[in-house]
Structure 1
Amino acid sequence: MTSYGAGGRAPLLLAGLLGTVHAAFSLYWGVGGGWLVETLGRRMVDAFAGWEWLLLPIGVVKLVAAWVPLVAARQGWPLRWFTRTACWLGAVVLVLWGGLNTVVGNLVLIGLIVPDGGYDRAGMIGHAFLWDPLFLAWGVVLAAGLTRGRGVARSAA
């Protein structure tokens, strides 16, 4: 185990927790849970009807992605280029996906974007204020952890 520095570990721990929330809901819905499912939007719920089990591997992937950065950092970034690049790619995707969908969802809700055929208000609220901001926060905190721990990790490598 190497010294990664508390400055990098704390955000990576928080990123792991945020990712775990996302993963937990995917796993919960994958086994048939219904709490907050309306926040996904009717179209998504209908698309997965009868296929909810597909959320189980998605939840597992989210869970692994949530904790790999902290585990890799604590182990001194084995396969350094690959692991850090994969984590940075994940952070960028989370920030772009979460940020763009948060902004678009809010623009729809305030009426600046009007989708053809209307929209599912509960689903749009869920994406604008819960799921996509959670992706965004996960990505921002992950990027902060990768940035803050960069100098310490380099000197230990």
Structure 2
Amino acid sequence: MGAARLRTGIIAGYAAVVVGLVYAAFSLYWTLGGTALLDTVGGEVGDLARRGGTAAFALGLGATLLKVAGCGLCYLLVRTRGRVRWVLVPAALGGCLLIVYGGVLVAVGALVLTGAVEPDSAVDWTALRWHVAIWDLWFLVWGILLTTTTVAFRRQSFVDVPASHG
């Protein structure tokens, strides 16, 4: 593996871990009853989090654990430089899913914000701005970082070299 590709994979991978953990921290904070920035989430998820209860806790905990698991997968990918083959497929799928999910939501939200698309119903403009500029964009950036890491390490996984953890 070329030094530049290795460096790119490592930097993108650790950045993906940090981005994911910070995002997971927000989910955990709201799951545990925090309310700061909750009005920027909007919609049914924001309403559910404000009401609290078992459903809100389960949804928040599930989101937190999923984000942490994604970080763990990316960390494993970086630490093994892609030599643990089973990590590549879920990392690639996760990266693509995050790119599509974040990209579509950012694009559609931006079209509504610019007036290019008329919304069907009442819009929480504050939440929409935050989703386009922060929350959904965060998914897109996380997906790009995870995909960059996966691509950087993909060839290494097929080289018969013992995995090192350093």
Q: Give TM-score, length-normalised by structure 1.
A: 0.87
SS at the partner of 1:148?
Answer: helix
2:110 is the alignment partner of 1:106: yes
C-alpha deviations, 1:9-51, integer Å up to 9, x for none? 1111001111112111100000011111111114321244323
**Counterpart residue number, 1:134:** 138
2:56 is the alignment partner of 1:52: yes
Structure 1 gaps of 5+ residues are none
SS at the partner of 1:112?
Answer: coil
- Deviation (angstroms), 1:77: 4.6
- Ranked by relative contact order (alpha carbons within 8 Å, sequence separation 6 or more), the top structure is 1
**Counterpart residue number, 2:80:** 75
Trace 1:1-157 onto structure 2 (pairs within 5 A).
Answer: 5-48=6-49, 49-50=51-52, 51-54=55-58, 55-75=60-80, 77=82, 80=85, 82-155=86-159, 156=161
- Deviation (angstroms), 1:140: 0.4
Q: Give TM-score, length-normalised by structure 2.
A: 0.83
C-alpha deviations, 1:69-115, integer Å up to 9, x for none? 222342355751x3211110000000000000001111111111222
Q: Distance in 2 between matches of 1:24 and 1:143?
A: 22
Aligned residues: 154
Q: Distance in 2 between matches of 1:138 and 1:151?
A: 22
Q: Distance in 1 between matches of 2:68 and 2:89?
A: 18
RMSD: 2.1
Structure 2 gaps of 5+ residues are none
Change in 2 beyond 3 A, CA 1:151/1:7: farther
Q: Which has the larger displacement, 19-28 or 36-45? A: 36-45
